[in-house]
Amino acid sequence: MMDWSSKNVLVTGGCSFIGSHLVEGLVKRGARVRAADDLSSGIRENLDDVMKTGKVEFEEVDLLDPHAAAKAVEGMDVVFHLAATHGGRGYISTHQAACSTNLALDSIMIREAHRAGVEQFTFASSGCVYPTSMQADPSEMIYLTEDLVKPPYEADDLYGWAKLMAELSLRAYHEEHGMKCASVRYFTAYGERCPTNHAVVAMIGRAFLKQDPYIVWGTGEQIRNWTYVSDIVEGTIRAAENIDDGTAVNLGTMERTSVLQCAQMILERTGLNATIQRDTSKPTGPYNRVADNALAKELLGWEPKVSFSDGLDKTIRWYFDTHDRDEVSTDFEASLTGRGFEKAGKKRASAA
């Protein structure tokens, strides 16, 4: 078990949805945290509450600049690397060039962390590293085990290839330089502060706007294992505590929920009596993506604690409490395919 109270910790992408929850989780464990973010999709206000503890330093910085990255890791014991050009499915499938910059960003962060001699480096990877051809048939009961990511690799879009390259780079840094590191493969996280470009929150937003017909992207048969953000944070911290050799571990529930089931759950919970309409012209991602989480249980003693039903209740409550209907409706459509800062209903912290 790591004694976090003696640690200086860097969280790159610290103003993001997951990053801001991770900063809070680390502060609760006693760490001093530097949150580095260029606010290209992160929102400074996500850190408002935790900044009050006096344990967090925020640095607005573009980590694609190697000198800035070197400065960000200076004096840090542990690094969690979450900064990325990323969005929901509507973004990553249509902005491959932008997502390719993650290849440089990850490489710079790994190199600078190694040079600075940090004790441990944990990388936010993704279910997008898994072969897409295995995830095509929603009627198949397939659970993705970590060992399925192997030659000949077949990642999901350039976003997934960049995640995969960072995982492989970390393994090489461990083998050749003894760098202590871990990769955590997140599977479709959701929860408070999740932007509208992710399916669950997009569907909550539609219910908030009382849309009828109520649109779902694709046939709605896509299966996901939506994983609540507190479980993602817990697994990420445990990975830093327990994995040193660059092993990549899935953080995802094994609950299988289709987009249509999710839509129905949201309509029931919000009391909206609308007709569901499928829009098959929209990007959907793979039709069957669910993690196997046995390795996380074995290596981290981790299991998801929040069921999809409970997490969805919390997320709906948060969304309805913190959004304004007029503001949401002004940029809702753009927010579905953007990087997150178009965050329907709330103002963006700063320009890109």
Ligand X SMILES: NC(=O)c1ccc[n+]([C@@H]2O[C@H](COP(=O)([O-])OP(=O)(O)OC[C@H]3O[C@@H](n4cnc5c(N)ncnc54)[C@H](O)[C@@H]3O)[C@@H](O)[C@H]2O)c1
Residue type, 344: A
- Measured from the CB atom, the residue of 163 and 174 that comes closer to ligand X is 163
Count of alpha carbons within 13 angstroms of residue 258, beta-carbon side? 15
Q: What tokens were used for 286?
A: 């793979």
The least distance separating ligand X from the CB of residue 238, rounded to whole angstroms, comes to 16
Return residues touching ligand X (CB under 6 A). 13, 15-19, 36-42, 61-64, 82-86, 105, 124, 126, 186, 188-189, 340
Count of alpha carbons within 13 angstroms of residue 326, beta-carbon side? 0
Q: What tokens were used for 294?
A: 């046995």
Q: What is the DSSP track for 32-56? A: EEEEEE--SS--GGGGHHHHTTT-E
- Measured from the CB atom, the residue of 61 and 316 that comes closer to ligand X is 61
Alpha helices in the chain (DSSP H): 17-28, 48-51, 66-73, 89-92, 96-116, 157-177, 199-208, 229-242, 259-270, 294-300, 308-322, 325-337
The least distance separating ligand X from the CB of residue 274, rounded to whole angstroms, comes to 26
- Measured from the CB atom, the residue of 190 and 332 that comes closer to ligand X is 190
Cα angle 262, 206, 276 (rounded to 5 degrees) comes to: 60
Residue type, 268: E
- Measured from the CB atom, the residue of 66 and 272 that comes closer to ligand X is 66
Q: Which residue is nearest to ligand X (CB)?
A: 42
The least distance separating ligand X from the CB of residue 128, rounded to whole angstroms, comes to 7
The least distance separating ligand X from the CB of residue 163, rounded to whole angstroms, comes to 7
- Measured from the CB atom, the residue of 17 and 214 that comes closer to ligand X is 17
The least distance separating ligand X from the CB of residue 247, rounded to whole angstroms, comes to 17
The least distance separating ligand X from the CB of residue 83, rounded to whole angstroms, comes to 4
Q: For the CA atoms of the chain, what is the radius of gyration?
A: 19
The least distance separating ligand X from the CB of residue 295, rounded to whole angstroms, comes to 17
- Measured from the CB atom, the residue of 13 and 286 that comes closer to ligand X is 13
The least distance separating ligand X from the CB of residue 71, rounded to whole angstroms, comes to 12
- Measured from the CB atom, the residue of 146 and 178 that comes closer to ligand X is 146
Please tell me the distance from the alpha carbon of residue 66 to that of residue 83, in angstroms, as a whole number: 14
**Is residue 239 exposed (0-12), middle (13-18) or buried (19+ Cβ within 10 Å)?**
buried
Q: How far is CA 22 from CA 59, 116, 141, 143, 205, in A?
A: 16, 22, 32, 26, 24
3-state secondary structure of 191: coil
